[in-house]
Amino acid sequence: MNQQTQMQVSDEVAIEIRNMNKWYGTFHVLRDIDLTVMRGERIVICGPSGSGKSTLIRCINALEEHQKGSINVDGTLLSSDLKNIDKIRSEVGMCFQHFNLFPHLTILENCTLAPIWVRKTPKKEAEETAMHFLEKVKIPEQADKYPGQLSGGQQQRVAIARSLCMRPRIMLFDEPTSALDPEMIKEVLDTMIELAEEGMTMLCVTHEMGFARQVANRVIFMDAGQIVEQNEPEEFFNNPKSDRTKLFLSQILGH
Amino acid sequence: MSDAHAHSVAFVRETEIPPSPPPASQAGAIKWMRDNLFSGLFNSILTLLAIYFIYKLVAGAFPWFWNGVWDAESIRDCRDILAERGAETGACFAVLVDRWDHLMFGFKYPQTEYWRPTLAFVLLLFAAAPALFYKYVPRKFLLFTALYPFIAFWLIWGGSLWLPLAILVAIIATGFVFRMVEGLDVNIRSILAAIVGLVAGIGLAYLLYQGAKELWFISNSVGSGSILTMLASFLFKAASVFMFVFFIPMGIFVGYAIYNDAEGGGLVTVVTALFALYLFVAYLVDPVAGAINAIIPIELQAVPSRDMGGYMLNMILGVVCVSLSLPLGIVLALGRQSNMPLIKGVCVVFIEFIRGVPLITLLFVANVMLAYFMPPETNFDLILRVIIMITMFSSAYIAEVIRGGLAALPKGQYEAADSLGLNYTQATRLIILPQALKISIPGIVNIAVGLFKDTTLVSVISMFDIVGMIRGPIQQSTDWISIYWEVYLFASMVFFVVCYSISQYSQWLERQLRTDHH
């Protein structure tokens, strides 16, 4: 499978980050980040907590502001211009650790809200699209329930469907399985794997190393706000170069 | 099962245990009484004491109600009837019958026109239903809700029908102006933005200049008799100088902000629409309404504001102020959360100032002081002034309650809305406010109930609401002199009915809006 998915990576650039820096006050959270993501590439970002991996992907859709350097998403330069930000956000889907579904709306309304208001899709069409993606994440029968009535795994799959309804070209995952019970992790990972097989450009912050081995084209290891090492998964796991990576891997794979 | 099982750790369930009902002694009325009334020695004593107190209360009050006289001319008449019957105590409910009209409509509202406020009240129920029970009433009935203020205004105040109609048309026309400017080509809009920005800038600078002059005038007239007045005078002078220094920069700043916004267009659109509304109302509404009325006169007998009174006045103030202060409170709460320091500052100062001042002083300001600040010839309706003050007062409180609701929302909700590409208006309207308002319902209702009861404070500034009527024309008339219990009990009752309904409605609404674990 790995070989087959390798082939889907094109030579078109999806995201280009150049020399990006970010500070929280005086605390330097991201330092000289350089990263180019090709269309169709699946990247897993890992690292100890506080290493800036979430902040990095949150900078890509401007949930966090960067102070130096440039981020270019799909040919649109990320600047403080609100129009550019809204354009990028509607092209980039995002899933959060705590799902962040809208609790006052039904599952179906969660999925149709953005297409109707941002893309101006007619309601009927938006609902058809939503049902299509809910079927894809295998919970069409929950469409009329509220998020509070679903399990964590189901909620995360709804969150994925909600993002997909905007037909994004890039998906960001911010620790999508960290708040889930072990039984539910698999159902979410299966959905993500299916998405990857269809050639979606994905950036995942996750500690699921099995997922990384199976799906990723590239694993990035971050520490102290810097990219320490990046490589293909086989090389990364079997033959890590940096001492920091070796220490990290021994800690998370050691038990 | 062998004995070995009892000692071994390993265990496998082979049969399911079927569910069964609880034992009979653990259910029913006896159990309920034992649990809730006599669960121990101390609680049993408390229960008996409570029963004794309730008995004394009812036994004491019941004869007073039971002997009540409903048909009498005056309080003496009523006491004679009671003495005739040989009753020890008894209520003179006759006052309610005799003065029913006064309690409901005040003593100056023309008797032949009582049907008008009554009809307005009945229509209020129909107008409120589509908004209150929005899930069960078709949306198109909201149109009647939107028209109701104009209908009610005409019914209660009377005069020409064309005036409220003209105001309605002016508001609709303003909506059209808003739509038109929104749809304008960017180039044309930037020309418009330049003109509107210029006018708004100069207008604001002029207003601030006038305000600064006014403050200087006040500071001189405060006098310098004591340290306190010197301090007050100094503060007024300082504010005046501040405004003198800043009126031109503020005008330029605001004007430029409007011009600069031409591309996005939100600010230009809103300001242009406000200008249009002002022009319509100030220069078109009166003459047009007058002209049409000269041709086709449709008129009800006009009733001036000072003739309004009784419970009707409380209802007018309560309904108008609650429905105005909710949107204003939302705007203030959002403004207080704004990233823009100017907007945030204005909202914070407004909220903190209003919350720091007793309502009664604001009402005195409405009654007396506002006249000093207005040009001499303006005749600013007293009810309107009171409505403005009560609305400002309660909107500041509602804003704080809603701010609590906004703060209670997890940050993730904002992020999820952002990450889907919703802009600020969409995110606020579709995601943030529905949730924040739901959290704030108990607080908002608390303030609405308080506001409704506070409308009786207008009796202090010599308006004859229900309490004003009781304290004035009823208690001081020779017929019903020194009657207390019956009238105040009645006033409490009519307020209780409304406030309890509001509270029940809010609890029902909260249940309706629950979305977890049905």
Q: Is the pLDDT of residue A18 over 60?
A: yes
The two beta strands, B159-160 and A226-231, are: unpaired
Check whether residue B134 and residue B217 sit in a common domain: no
**In the structure encoding, which two tokens stand for residue B254, read together?**
């605001």
What integer pLDDT is reported at residue A2 of this predicted model? Answer: 46
pLDDT tens digits along A48-84: 888 888 999 999 988 888 888 888 888 888 876 777 7
Same domain for B151 and B193, yes or no, is no
A114:B422 CB<8 A: yes
CB contacts < 8 A (A, B): 72
Dihedral of alpha carbons B414, B419, B424, B430, sign = negative
Name the minimum distance, in Å, from the CA of A229 to any CA of chain B: 28
B426: chain A residues, CB-CB within 8 Å: 117-118
Tell whether the torsion through CA atoms of A183, A189, A194 and A195 is positive or negative. Answer: positive
Nearest to B264, CA basis, from A86, A83, A117, A120: A83
With beta carbons under 8 A apart, name residues in chain B contacting A149: 515-518
**pLDDT at residue A3 tops 80:** no
Kindly state whether residues B262 and B311 are assigned to the same domain.
no
B318 backbone φψ class: left, alpha, beta (φ>0; ψ -120 to 50): alpha
d(CA B96, CA B480): 11
Nearest chain A CA: its distance from B93 CA (Å): 50
ipTM of the shown complex:
0.89
B281 lies within 8 A of chain A by CB = no
Task: Classify the C-alpha dihedral B189-B194-B199-B204 as positive or negative.
Answer: positive
Residue ranges of chain A whose CB lies within 8 Å of a chain B CB: 61-63, 82, 86-87, 89-90, 92-94, 96, 98, 100-104, 113-114, 117-118, 146-149, 162-163, 166
Containing structural domain, residue B187 = 160-300
- In this structure, which amino acid lies at residue B16? E
The shortest C-alpha distance from B421 to chain A (Å) reads: 5
- pLDDT at position A1 over 50: no
Short-list B445, B94, B112, B120, CA closest to B313: B120
Angle in degrees, 0-180, between the axes of helices B310-336 and B382-408, rounded to the nearest 10: 40
Burial A83-101 (b: 16+ CB within 10 A, else e): eebbbbbbbbbbbbbbbbb
Antiparallel, parallel or unpaired: β A170-174 and A92-95: parallel
Across the interface, whether the CB atoms of B435 and A104 are under 8 A apart is answered yes
DSSP B138: -
What is chain B's Cα-based Rg? 31
Cα distances from B463 to residues B156, B306, B319, B472, in angstroms, run 17, 8, 17, 10
Long-range contacts of B217-226 (CB under 8 A, 24+ apart): none
pLDDT of the residue at A255: 57
Whether B352 and B473 map to the same domain: the answer is: yes
Nearest to A63 among B410, B418, B516 (CB): B418
The DSSP result for A132-190, as a single string, is HHHHHTT-GGGTTS-GGGS-HHHHHHHHHHHHHTT--SEEEEESTTTTS-HHHHHHHHH
Distance CA B153, CA B149 (A): 6
**Co-location of B279 and B135 in the same domain:** no
CB contact at 8 A, A21 and A68? yes
CB of B341 within 8 A of CB of B356?
no
Q: Examine residue B5 and state whether it is found in any structural domain, yes or no.
A: no
Q: Which amino acid is at B462?
A: S
Is B458 inside any structural domain? yes
- For residues A1 and A217, is the Cβ–Cβ distance under 8 A? no
> B216 and B240 in contact (C-beta within 8 Å)?
yes
Q: Tokens for A255, please give them.
A: 């038990």
Domain boundary among B249, B281, B300: B300
Cβ contacts (< 8 Å) between B417 and chain A: which residues? 102
Cβ A123 vs Cβ A112: under 8 Å: yes
The answer to whether position B79 is within a domain reads no
Residue B359 lies in a domain: yes
Give the CA radius of gyration of chain A.
18
Identify whether B86 is part of a domain. no
Low-confidence residues in chain B, pLDDT < 50: 1-2
CB–CB contact B515 A118 (8 Å): no
State phi, psi for A13 to the nearest 5 degrees: -85, 130
Please tell me whether residues B266 and B390 are part of one structural domain: no
State yes or no: pLDDT of A7 exceeds 50. no
Q: Does B410 touch chain A (CB under 8 A)?
A: yes
Question: Are B224 and B129 in a shared domain?
Answer: no
Q: Per residue in A101-112, pLDDT tens?
A: 999 999 999 999
Contact list, B405 vs chain A (CB under 8 Å): none
Which of A104, A117, A162 lies closest to B515 in CB terms? A104
Chain A residues with CB inside 8 Å of B418's CB? 61-63, 89
Helix (H, G, I), strand (E, B) or coil at B200: helix
Strands annotated E in B221-335: 299-300
Q: Which residues of B touch A100 (CB under 8 A)?
A: 410, 412-413, 415-416
The number of distinct structural domains making up chain B is 3
Q: Which of B300, B319, B349 is the last residue of a domain?
A: B300
CB contact, 8 Å: B416 with chain A? yes
B130 and B216 share a domain?
Answer: no
B338 within domain boundaries: yes
Given A96, A163, A166, which is nearest B412 (Cβ)?
Answer: A96
The pair phi, psi for residue B470, each rounded to 5°, is -65, -50
Among A89, A98, A162, the residue with its CB nearest the CB of B418 is A89
Considering only the beta carbons, identify the residue of A103, A114, A149 that sits closest to B421: A114
Which residues of B fall within a CB distance of 8 Å from A174?
Answer: none
Q: Which residue is associated with the tokens 């004394």? A: B56
The verdict on a CB contact (< 8 Å) between A90 and B517 is no
Q: What span, in angstroms and rounded, lies between the C-alpha atoms of B89 and B435?
A: 54
Q: Domain check: are B274 and B287 in the same one?
A: yes
User: Using CB atoms, which residue from B413, B435, B516 is nearest to A149?
Assistant: B516
What average pLDDT does the segment A88-111 reach?
91
- Please say whether the beta carbons of B119 and B155 come within 8 A: yes
Both B480 and B343 in a single domain?
yes
3-class SS of residue B340: coil
Residue B172 lies in a domain: yes
Q: What is the CATH number for B339?
A: 1.10.3720.10
Beta strands in B129-175 (DSSP E): 159-160
Closest CB to B416: pick one of A87, A96, A118. A96
Using one digit for the tens of pLDDT, what is the confidence trace for A117-127?
988 889 999 99
Can you tell me the mean pLDDT for A146-175?
A: 90
**b (16+ CB within 10 A) / e for B395-424:** bbbbbbbbbebbeebeeebbbbbbbbbbbb
Last residue of one domain, picked from the residues B253, B277, B300:
B300
Residues B153, B269, single domain; the answer is no
Higher-pLDDT residue of A210, B398: B398
Query: Which residue's structure tokens are 């509220």?
Result: A146
Q: Test A86 with B435 for CB contact under 8 angstroms.
A: no
Are residues B497 and B435 part of one domain? yes
